[in-house]
Structure 1
């Protein structure tokens, strides 16, 4: 699968953040931006949360002041519209969505360009994970849910860039994508808390491009199926993956959760993706 941009991420010592509060915390329900909605010098910082039928997204924008508040609002409106449209158009639980129509054989995968891209991504991740991510091996037929949320975020992020915003973060649950710089002028400082052990010292990332995807923290028992047996996966308590693209990171996290420790082989050598957490039960 072609990746347009490599992640720029480093893992500093968490103690370095004693006097520098992280911009974002994953796994702690806190996605706060320090100066949300404020103009600071040559930057405009805005935070907005949108809820769809299936997810909640927080969009954090650090825009140049020359873009103006109207430009920032237009960029935000466009990104939010994309998130809502994907929920309506591709949600597997919606009877008239394109995914549901594809499952019923009413349309072909290449009927719509975004649908073709979604199917192609699922096909690529099935190959990349030795079949452990398999959107076709779930009850009811094709279900891209393992990467749909990440795909939606990446498409919303593309709308931000198309409107002139190149410094942003988009967070949903324990997943996020970031690009550019935070309002303080440096890389986004992300404290990644352990998915199911909140008292553990968080892993601190400094990121200017990249994504973090997590599987296993939805609260629903058996939500990830072992595609080889059809039974709920139960080897890991959670899996978190970092890399360039959130849809791919989400799919890898889902596959790793299903495969268990054997899936760690995917991240060795020259892989653009890295497993942050993969704890056994």
Structure 2
């Protein structure tokens, strides 16, 4: 049966990479072109893991950190990611860092960057809607159907199984949602000033922005800052909205977040 014009053909994939699960939901476009782009996107994620993994002694990032390679000796993506990380450090006044414990470690930016790049690659193949979920952080383009946006549920860390909010992509061509917190991985977010796990009043920060590279960085940095400083800083960033949840069950959000709920 032919697909209705109101329901573009869907292509879905799941891939385990970077120590997490990536799910792909792609709508519309030429089926062969979309499948090829999906293959390339997943291969790109695996390649990024090979290059940037800090757990693999033979990765370019590990060798770079040990001084065995220079940036010019690495794939061009290494210089790109390091430049993005340096920009994140500058914008966040050091609250986002690639040097925890004195060792070069761009882990905090690589997954968001790689997920965004994968989604862009698929969108460029002509898909009308793309959603790539990398371990709970999502990059979206277009829409799943005409007049229907993508919707992303934000888990409530204080109420397992519940939602703190639902983010809608309605009205914008691209949107990303990233969450940093302690619910899934414990106290893994570091305070760059103390080089110890961040001690704040927050349990989660969700950031909504056009691209996942920055959304992921800003969520991490704001969590380390704490609710008061983090909220004020996020309010100052263009095209960024956020939801902050405190251990005391308080919900704080940026002024424009309501427009992204639904």
- TM-score, scaled relative to structure 1: 0.78
Deviation beyond 4 Å, 4+ runs, structure 1: none
What's the counterpart of residue 87 of structure 2? Answer: 124
Moved more, 115-124 or 140-149: 140-149
Moved more, 101-110 or 239-248: 101-110
Conserved? CA contact 1:257–1:278, under 8 Å: no
CA distance in structure 1 between the partners assigned to 2:137 and 2:18 by the alignment? 17
Unpaired runs of 5+ residues, structure 1, are 1-37
**Alpha-carbon shift at residue 146 of structure 1 (Å):** 1.2
2:194 to 212, 217, 229: 229
2:132 to 166, 170, 183: 170
CA distance in structure 2 between the partners assigned to 1:228 and 1:140 by the alignment? 12
**2:204 paired with 1:238:** yes
**Alpha-carbon shift at residue 79 of structure 1 (Å):** 1.0
1:260 to 205, 219, 226: 226
Conserved? CA contact 1:189–1:206, under 8 Å: yes
Unpaired runs of 5+ residues, structure 2, are 249-262
Aligned length: 240
> Relative to 1, partners in 2 of residues 1:254 and 1:269: Cα closer, same or farther, differing over 3 Å?
closer
* Deviation by residue 1:133-179 (Cα, 9 ceiling, x = unmatched): 0112x125111111211011011112213322241100122210101
What's the counterpart of residue 216 of structure 2? Answer: 250
> Relative to 1, partners in 2 of residues 1:107 and 1:196: Cα closer, same or farther, differing over 3 Å?
farther
**Alpha-carbon shift at residue 276 of structure 1 (Å):** 1.4
> Relative to 1, partners in 2 of residues 1:77 and 1:259: Cα closer, same or farther, differing over 3 Å?
same
Equivalent positions of 1:157-196 (< 5 A) are 157-183=119-145, 185-196=147-158
CA distance in structure 1 between the partners assigned to 2:51 and 2:183 by the alignment? 22
CA distance in structure 2 between the partners assigned to 1:275 and 1:110 by the alignment? 37
Conserved? CA contact 1:194–1:277, under 8 Å: no
What's the counterpart of residue 77 of structure 2? Answer: 114
Equivalent positions of 1:200-211 (< 5 A) are 201-207=163-169, 208-211=173-176
Conserved? CA contact 1:133–1:255, under 8 Å: yes
Secondary structure class of the residue paired with 1:126:
helix
> Relative to 1, partners in 2 of residues 1:139 and 1:71: Cα closer, same or farther, differing over 3 Å?
same
> Relative to 1, partners in 2 of residues 1:149 and 1:196: Cα closer, same or farther, differing over 3 Å?
farther
**2:64 paired with 1:102:** yes
* Deviation by residue 1:198-250 (Cα, 9 ceiling, x = unmatched): 46554222204110111124633331111001111121212111101111111
CA distance in structure 2 between the partners assigned to 1:219 and 1:157 by the alignment? 24
Conserved? CA contact 2:14–2:22, under 8 Å: yes
More relative contact order, 1 or 2 (CA 8 Å, 6+ apart): 1
Secondary structure class of the residue paired with 1:40:
coil
**2:117 paired with 1:151:** no
